[in-house]
Chain A
């Protein structure tokens, strides 16, 4: 899966779990996750949804440094390759 494909899939997941009225087509690697309306509770659901969507299982603690959509895509790619 390319980085763009991962971002595309992430965008779909986020669209479902966020209630923020974001311009989802404009969401890219540089967009911060916080700006998409995720708070300390809903981010937990996003992590779960991402795990389900990509068939992954990882510790949420590993994501402490993830700030942007691109950061998250990089993390997912690494997990997919592992």
Chain B
């Protein structure tokens, strides 16, 4: 593959309940610390689920202020912060200098868009009629607000748009970045995802869907692949990657952190919420094919692992279908027991976790995995971090609507 078509990662930004810096994020994952706690962003009395993974305002506020990010909607604010960190770590921006225009494409995934603002606007309209609708409502609640704000704030002059495919959104966004670079359509892309829906309306809708854990204990509520799992735990989060061609990264002597080797996606075309192992397996196989790799080349699987009864058995089945006997030896783990299910952000946050695992040769454990579900017949990492010599990993993300998206990620090697 020529250098101008290889897609490498040169910047990383993460914002979630584990922290608002890459080091806080990674240290918590290794230490087995969870960011899940009681819901505090609104009064959840009367809700079936009363735990969530919330970002600490004491850390978020100063990080936004240092970059002069004016809060508009929480999902946009944290998306901007993740983007800022990714650009800063790639050497493409600094909190201390005004941004100069640059040719960067912005692609962000989001499942819900600016949910808090949509709720606030609706409530204000119901209370005060038309006078309750601020003129800023449309540009604040539009689903592409996050990519628009990132482009405006950092003067990124390539196209900006969002991918909306529920919980596969940001994996798909990074996949589009990979494809643009691979095809020679873009040299440099900021790709990531964001979601923050901890308001009474959106959280209530999830509550009534019946897929969230009813376990009131924050520490044990999220149990991917465990036989006693009883549903997902929602979280707020955002993450971003700077993806550029190897040639472009080299031309500016950027530090290269990882390589994106492949991407595959599919639709189940079966059911609006129930996952389908055939659709998931097709996406995994397509990702491997696009990387030119065989199943046996994969050394680590970062699972979607949402901890719903349906997902984890279905995903295990899909992994078995593609990997066959190799599924008995490829370490597989879910990151969601640490920072919950961050919906449209989960793929980007978990891609960050996967890249860090590859770089450190250390996979964070399956927190809360006490009794592996016998129906999840794959090689699950235990609760403690596990040393791996993997050079290639895959990152699975599956969304309502039947969208499956899978990235193939690799340690950078010349």
Contacts and interface: CB of A to CB of B under 8 A. Distances in A.
Given A39-B152, A41-B140, A48 B135 contact: yes
Contacts of B136: 41-42, 44-45, 48
Interface in A17-46: 19-20, 37, 39-42, 44-45
B383 interface: no
A6 interface: no
A40 B72 CA distance: 12
Interface in B130-165: 134-136, 139-140, 149, 152
Contacts of A19: 65, 68, 70-71
Interface residues of A, number: 12
B140 A48 contact: no
A44 B135 contact: yes
Interface of B: 65, 68, 70-72, 134-136, 139-140, 149, 152
Interface of A: 19-20, 37, 39-42, 44-45, 47-48, 60
A57 B327 CA distance: 66
Contacts of B149: 41
Lowest 4 A-B CB distances belong to which pairs? A44-B136, A44-B135, A19-B70, A45-B136
Contacts of A44: 134-136, 139
Majority secondary structure, B binding face: loop
17 contacts: A19-B65, A19-B68, A19-B70, A20-B68, A37-B68, A37-B70, A39-B70, A39-B152, A40-B152, A41-B72, A42-B70, A42-B136, A44-B135, A45-B135, A45-B136, A48-B136, A60-B135
A22 B135 CA distance: 25
Nearest to B131: A52
A48 B138 CA distance: 14
Given A39-B152, A41-B140, A47 B135 contact: yes
A19 B65 CA distance: 9
A45 B134 contact: yes
B93 to A, nearest CB: 17
A41 B145 CA distance: 11
Which residue, of B72, B135, B139, has the highest number of chain A Cβ atoms within 10 A?
B135
